[in-house]
Amino acid sequence: MRECKTAGRPATPFLPPAYLYIAVAKTEPLLHSPLLPASEFGAAASEHTSSFRTLRTPRGHGGVAPDALLSLPPKRSPLLSEFLILIALRPKDRLDRALRRDEEQPKKDGCRLRPVRATINSVLNDVAKDFVPKRPLRAPMTEKPLADPKSVASIILGGGAGTRLFPLTQKRAKPAVPIGGCYRLIDVPMSNCINSAINKIYILTQFNSQSLNRHLARTYDFANGVNFGDGFVEVLAATQTPGEFGKRWFQGTADAVRQFIWIFGDAKLRHIENILILSGDHLYRMDYMDFVQKHMDSGADISVSCVPMDDSRASDFGLMKIDNAGRITQFLEKPKGKSLETMQVDTTILGLSPQNARKYNYIASMGIYIFRTDVLLSLLRNRYPTANDFGSEIIPMASNDYNVQAYLFDGYWEDIGTIKSFFDANLSLTDENPKFHFYDPLKPIFTSPRYLPPTKTEKCRVVKSIISHGCFLMECSVEHSIIGVRSRLECGVKLENTMMMGADYYQTEAERAACLAKGKVPVGVGENTKIRNCIIDKNARIGKNVVITNSDSVEEADRPSEGFYIRSGITVVLKNSVIPDGTVI
- pLDDT category of residue 431 using cuts at 50, 70 and 90: very high
Distance between CA atoms of 282 and 256, rounded to whole angstroms? 19
> Above 50 in pLDDT, residue 428?
yes
**pLDDT value at residue 271:** 84
Distance between CA atoms of 418 and 422, rounded to whole angstroms? 6
Positive or negative: CA dihedral 525, 529, 535, 540: negative
Nearest of 282, 277, 246, 257 to residue 206 by alpha carbon: 257
Per the document, the length of the chain is 585
Distance between CA atoms of 248 and 47, rounded to whole angstroms? 47
**pLDDT value at residue 222:** 62
Rounded to the nearest 10 degrees, the angle between the axes of helix 210-219 and helix 187-195 is 30
**pLDDT value at residue 244:** 57
**pLDDT value at residue 459:** 94
> Above 70 in pLDDT, residue 51?
no
**Alpha carbon 582 to chain centroid, angstroms:** 43
Task: Express each pLDDT in 436-461 by its tens digit.
Answer: 999 999 999 999 988 999 999 999 99
DSSP-assigned letters across all residues of 372-391: EHHHHHHIIIIISTT---II
**pLDDT value at residue 165:** 92
Average pLDDT, stretch 231-244? 76
> Above 60 in pLDDT, residue 490?
yes
> Above 60 in pLDDT, residue 19?
no
- Give the range among 86-100, 139-153, 467-481 with minimum mean pLDDT: 86-100
**pLDDT value at residue 265:** 72
Distance between CA atoms of 95 and 92, rounded to whole angstroms? 5
> Above 50 in pLDDT, residue 479?
yes
Distance between CA atoms of 398 and 431, rounded to whole angstroms? 41
**pLDDT value at residue 325:** 86
Task: Express each pLDDT in 325-370 by its tens digit.
Answer: 889 999 998 899 889 989 999 888 888 888 888 899 999 999 999 9
**pLDDT value at residue 115:** 36
Pick the more confident residue, 481 or 357: 481
**pLDDT value at residue 499:** 97
- In three-state secondary structure terms, 355 is helix
> Above 50 in pLDDT, residue 226?
no
Q: What percent of the chain has pLDDT over 90?
A: 52
Distance between CA atoms of 548 and 158, rounded to whole angstroms? 32
Average pLDDT, stretch 479-487? 97
> Above 90 in pLDDT, residue 114?
no
**pLDDT value at residue 267:** 57
> Above 90 in pLDDT, residue 194?
yes
- Give the range among 260-274, 345-359, 422-436 with minimum mean pLDDT: 260-274
Other beta carbons within 10 Å of 285: 18
Nearest of 502, 442, 477 to residue 179 by alpha carbon: 502
- Domains belonging to the chain, first-starting first, are 20-131 (no CATH), 148-297+411-441 (3.90.550.10), 301-366+377-410 (no CATH), 456-579 (2.160.10.10)
**pLDDT value at residue 223:** 58
Average pLDDT, stretch 139-166? 79
CA dihedral 50, 52, 57, 58 (to 10 degrees): 70
Positive or negative: CA dihedral 348, 350, 356, 360: negative
- pLDDT category of residue 61 using cuts at 50, 70 and 90: very low
Distance between CA atoms of 267 and 273, rounded to whole angstroms? 9
> Above 90 in pLDDT, residue 58?
no
- Give the range among 179-193, 218-232, 486-500 with minimum mean pLDDT: 218-232
- pLDDT category of residue 25 using cuts at 50, 70 and 90: very low
Highest mean pLDDT, choosing among 81-95, 232-246, 395-409: 395-409
Provide Rg for the chain, Cα atoms: 28
Q: Are 278 and 368 in contact (CB under 8 A)?
A: yes
- Give the range among 109-123, 163-177, 313-327, 332-346 with minimum mean pLDDT: 109-123
Task: Express each pLDDT in 536-562 by its tens digit.
Answer: 999 999 999 999 999 999 999 999 999
Other beta carbons within 10 Å of 124: 17
Rounded to 5°, the CA angle 170-536-546 comes to 125
- Give the range among 203-217, 243-257, 282-296, 380-394 with minimum mean pLDDT: 243-257
Q: Are strands 541-542 and 524-525 parallel, antiparallel or unpaired?
A: parallel
DSSP 576: T
Nearest of 418, 391, 367, 415 to residue 163 by alpha carbon: 418
Rounded to 5°, the CA angle 164-168-174 comes to 70
**pLDDT value at residue 237:** 82
- pLDDT category of residue 179 using cuts at 50, 70 and 90: very high
Distance between CA atoms of 339 and 404, rounded to whole angstroms? 21
Quote the longest CA-to-CA distance of the chain: 90
Phi (first) and psi of residue 230, to 5 degrees: -95, 20
Task: Express each pLDDT in 62-77 by its tens digit.
Answer: 333 333 333 334 433 3
> Above 50 in pLDDT, residue 518?
yes
DSSP lists the bridge partners of residue 463 as 479
DSSP lists the bridge partners of residue 86 as 23
Q: Are 149 and 196 in contact (CB under 8 A)?
A: yes
- pLDDT category of residue 103 using cuts at 50, 70 and 90: very low
> Above 70 in pLDDT, residue 139?
no
- Give the range among 120-134, 264-278, 356-370, 449-463 with minimum mean pLDDT: 120-134
DSSP 455: P
> Above 50 in pLDDT, residue 519?
yes
Distance between CA atoms of 212 and 178, rounded to whole angstroms? 11
Name the pTM for this structure: 0.74
Distance between CA atoms of 196 and 388, rounded to whole angstroms? 29
Pick the more confident residue, 339 or 24: 339
